[in-house]
Amino acid sequence: LFAGETEFVKGVVAMSGLPPADRLEVCFAGRSNVGKSTLINALTGRKGLARASNTPGRTQEINYFTAADSHYLVDLPGYGYANAPLPVVEQWQKLLKQYLSGRQTLRRAFVLVDARHGVKKVDEEIMSLLDSAAVTFQCVLTKADKVKAADRERVLDQTRTALSRHPAAFPEIVLTSSEKGDGIPTLRAIIATLE
Ligand code: GDP
């Protein structure tokens, strides 16, 4: 799946701009700075494909990428900017709700959580949105290389507890480090087996 070329397709700001639903897709969500761009780049093996665009308040786009012509990888805008203007937040929440509940070909959402910080309130808000939209989601812990082995179990436990509150959560947690490559093959395999 990830052996072929990954291409940027388009940035979408409204439902009318979504590409035709002609293949399966997975989406990636997470707080700004969680390591989402880096993870998508690690998955696809293309540095700089997903731009680390961290400017608060800029137009929030849903970015579409193709993986081997058989899947779309969908990069959702980062959330949790401390001082994003309210209209921007509201516009993004509206588009996100429409997207999650209206996209037939969406097979799974990956909710990225920084392994150092664990699941935060804003992450749980996204998880609740996914519950409402009945989109199965899987938690991906990022930056595992920054967490001592001794602290990993604690973060995993906290994450498991948070996930137990969400009916749409897939129980398996993927621990990743884009820096070291840990968990990247696992995540690729998960995406490749979705039907
Ligand atoms: P985004 O806002 O979620 O797209 O986050 P970025 O991908 O831009 O990453 C935010 C910061 O975290 C950058 O400085 C990255 O270099 C760093 N980062 C991302 N992934 C990892 C990782 O696996 N390990 C470490 N140590 N740093 C990472």
- Reported as a single tens digit per residue, the pLDDT across 25-81 is 999 999 989 999 999 999 988 776 766 455 554 557 899 999 877 899 999 988 877
What SS3 state is found at 143?
coil
In terms of pTM, does the model score above 0.90?
A: yes
CATH topology classification for 6-193: Rossmann fold (3.40.50)
What is the C-alpha separation between 195 and 193, in angstroms, rounded?
6
Complex prediction ipTM: 0.99
CA of 53 to the centre of ligand 1 (A): 12
Residue pLDDT, tens place only, 97-117 = 999 999 999 999 999 999 999
Cα torsion 92, 27, 106, 161: sign: negative
**Burial degree of 22 (CB within 10 A; 0-12, 13-18, 19+):** exposed
The mean predicted confidence, pLDDT, of the chain is 90
Residue whose CA is at the smallest distance from ligand 1 atom 13: 35
The residues lining ligand 1, judged by C-beta closer than 6 Å to any ligand atom, are: 30, 32-38, 52, 54, 78, 142-143, 145-146, 177-179
Please give the average per-residue pLDDT across 187-194, as a whole number: 94
Q: How far is the CA of 180 from the centre of ligand 1 (A)?
A: 12
